[in-house]
Amino acid sequence: MYLRRNQEDVLTELPEKIEVEDWVRFTSADDAAYAATVRSRNLMQMRQAAFHATEPAKLDRLAEIVDEAREDGHKVVVFSNFLKVLDTIRKRLGDAAMGPLTGSVAPPARQELVDAFTRHEGHAVLLSQIEAGGVGLNIQAASVVIIAEPQWKPSIEEQAIARAYRMGQIRKVQVHRLLAKSSVDERLREIQERKSLLFAEFARKSDAKEADSRAVDTSEHRPAVLDDEAVPLERRIVLAEQHRLGII
């Protein structure tokens, strides 16, 4: 037999958790790399495109967060769904990065990697695929959690955060979600929040619109396919971004 407590039952015993949405704006190189993936209609590449350019804005922000953690002597765990993203991050961080912990790593080896991260004196960074490291491991040594891109389901992100924010954690936990403006990240956040795709594009303030609701015929601007549930959601996301960027 064993007893299990839900996190909400022990919140008073856990330290503070601070969650931040780190929105960055694409550089011109980022814009070009992202537009190329939208033209290719490859949603997986669109989700990774924020790390494709030579000096991507997302990677710069991630490095800033890691530098701040180093100065404070904190350990960091970075989650991404994509191996190429983790490899890009590892190259930027150099010797400070451990891992990556991936789905191809056997469970005993995963635990050995987490143990080595825990024993490491001072600052260190553990890189992990979000589903490989987001379940079944205790990573309380990390007090800074970085999620490199939004996931389909908020529960996947919450499970990953719970690897660090759990019983045994004695430090305040900082959670950083890296998000890029004017990208598929916005569409995924809309899905997470159960909003309509491209909602903000058709809700911008306008004096004419405010004067008379008939001044704007949204049916001319919003493709009907975006609301067609018979079309797979992945396809609608790609179409939304193509429409926003004027790519046919």
Q: Which among 82, 199, 69, 211 is positioned nearest to 145, based on CA atoms?
A: 69
| Inter-residue contact 241 to 191 (CB < 8 Å) | no
| Inter-residue contact 146 to 178 (CB < 8 Å) | yes
Angle, CA 189 vertex, CA 215 and CA 234 arms, to 5°: 90
Q: Does residue 136 sit within a domain?
A: yes
Q: Does residue 70 sit within a domain?
A: yes
Q: Which among 88, 48, 96 is positioned nearest to 68, based on CA atoms?
A: 96
Count how many domains the chain has: 1
What is the spatial distance between Cα 98 and Cα 89, in angstroms, rounded to a whole number? Answer: 11
pLDDT at 11: 53
pLDDT at 211: 53
Q: Does residue 201 sit within a domain?
A: no
Q: What is the CATH number of the domain that holds 177?
A: 3.40.50.300
Q: Does residue 69 sit within a domain?
A: yes
Q: Does residue 111 sit within a domain?
A: yes
Q: Does residue 148 sit within a domain?
A: yes
What is the spatial distance between Cα 114 and Cα 140, in angstroms, rounded to a whole number? Answer: 10
Q: Does residue 138 sit within a domain?
A: yes
What is the spatial distance between Cα 152 and Cα 189, in angstroms, rounded to a whole number? Answer: 9
**DSSP per-residue string spanning the chain:** ------GGGGGGGS--EEEEEEEE---HHHHHHHHHHHHHT-HHHHHHGGGTSSS-HHHHHHHHHHHHHHHHT-EEEEEES-HHHHHHHHHHHGGGEEEEE-TTS-HHHHHHHHHHHHHS-S--EEEEEHHHHSSS---TTEEEEEESS--SSHHHHHHHHTTTSSTT--S-EEEEEEEETTSHHHHHHHHHTTPPTTGGGG----HHHHH-GGG--GGGTS-GGGG-TTS-HHHHHHHHHHHHHT--
What is the spatial distance between Cα 32 and Cα 229, in angstroms, rounded to a whole number? Answer: 30
Low-confidence ranges of the chain (pLDDT < 70): 1-13, 134-136, 196, 198-221
pLDDT at 214: 46
Q: Does residue 105 sit within a domain?
A: yes
Query: What tokens appear for 145 in the block?
Result: 């959690």
Q: What is the pLDDT of residues 117-152, one digit of tens each?
A: 999 999 999 999 998 876 668 899 999 999 999 998
Domain span including residue 154: 8-23+59-181
Contacts of 210 (CB under 8 A, 6+ apart): none
Angle, CA 28 vertex, CA 205 and CA 66 arms, to 5°: 95
pLDDT at 218: 45
